[in-house]
Amino acid sequence: MSFLSKFFNFDKKQITDPPDISVYDINIIETNMDALNEFSYSLKDIQDLKISGLIIRNALSEETVNKCVSIIKSAPDDNKKEITSGTIYPEGFSTAIESFGKDESELNSYFVRNKIFRENIVENFGFDFESLIQDTFSQLSGGLKVEVPQGMNDKGSYISLTAKIIKPGQGSIPIHCGNVLQYYFDDFYEHLEKSTSVYDQVSYFIMLDPSDSGGELTLYNTLWSETQKIIDNSTLENLDGEKINIEDPNSIGKQQLKLNPGDMIIFSGGQIWHRIEEIRGSKDRITIGGFIAYSKNNEKLYYWS
């Protein structure tokens, strides 16, 4: 069964403290790379939901974006993985578990390939994204060290970040939040949890090439702490059993965010329900990103995809 198929059959509820508020007010702050020193602890603020997220405008130059898009589009197919809505490059943990299951030898090889890919990241992506991510999140966390977790069985590493190519006519990325991932990819998350506080992980991505229309990131004003069940593409159910129609503005609030090429967004994707709107027009939507979380001892950050 595919991840999305399992996703919409999700019926596992977690015991949580009652939410402090019945409706979460979405609060996105915009800045630029030159002003990051004003947000030296904003990653913790995002995880604690004091702010919903941070948009960093022009994190990448136009020249860098164009180079990256060209290299990603021309990357060999054997490094790409087809998904329902398009393609992931290179393969991330969510598709690796579908490809290899629990085959230890295959998973070991996967982690080793990840490390080799990362050693050639400039050639593979056209830019040293790892240095950008490490520098950015170190600034946003008061100077913490930022690392990619080691792979299972001490083999290789997780992949640091992946490009996602969503194609017109192949739908969208349905509503979800990051805290459900630990139930579908339990082997990976059980391993990550040895070093990383994966619950309430933070999501981030950089827009490389937006679609002609559509493709916005939509954040909904309901949280995992109060809503933990998906009925279908347009319906959630909260812990009181009430149905929430996400297409009905009287049922739920939302904020749509449109990013320009080179913009980076960091948001509380583990806790805030969100989706990517349907891609329309003739252009693919290309982004690059992943997840980040504090280590168990809060002395460093780990990021992966």
3-state helix/strand/coil string of 258-303: CCCCCCEEEECCCCEEEEECCEECCCCEEEEEEEEEEECCCCEEEE
Which pLDDT belongs to residue 281?
95
* CATH number for the domain that contains residue 81: 2.60.120.620
pLDDT higher at 101 or 41: 41
Q: Is residue 160's pLDDT more than 80?
A: yes
Give the domain range for residue 223.
3-304
d(CA 228, CA 180): 8
Query: Does the pLDDT value for residue 145 go beyond 90?
Result: yes
pLDDT of residue 100: 85
Q: Give the model confidence (pLDDT) of 181-222 as tens digits.
A: 888 888 899 999 999 999 999 999 999 999 999 999 999 999
Both structure tokens of 140 = 């946003």
Cis peptide before 90 (omega within 30 of 0): yes
If you average pLDDT over every residue of the chain, what do you get? 91
What local confidence, expressed as pLDDT, does residue 287 receive?
98
Query: Which pLDDT tens digit goes with each residue over 51-95?
Result: 999 999 999 999 999 999 999 999 999 999 999 899 999 999 988
What is the model's pTM?
0.92
CB atoms within 10 A of CB 102: 8
Predicted confidence (pLDDT) per residue in 246-303, tens digit: 999 999 999 999 999 999 999 999 999 999 999 999 999 999 999 999 999 999 999 9
The percent of the chain in helix, strand and coil, each rounded to the nearest 5, is 30, 30, 40
Count of domains in the chain?
Answer: 1
pLDDT in tens, 14-61: 333 433 444 689 999 999 999 999 999 999 999 999 999 999 999 999
Q: Which among 266, 152, 163, 183 has a CA at the least distance from the CA of 219?
A: 266
Compute the distance between CA of residue 196 and CA of residue 184 in angstroms, rounded to an integer: 17
The radius of gyration of the chain from alpha carbons, rounded to an integer in Å, stands at 18
* Residue-level pLDDT at 23: 67
Collapsed DSSP state (helix, strand, coil) of residue 114? helix
Task: From residue 222, give the alpha-carbon distance in Å to each of 48, 129, 228, 272.
Answer: 15, 32, 10, 6
Residue type, 274: H
Query: pLDDT-based confidence at 226, cuts 50/70/90?
Result: very high
Q: Is the pLDDT of residue 2 over 50?
A: no
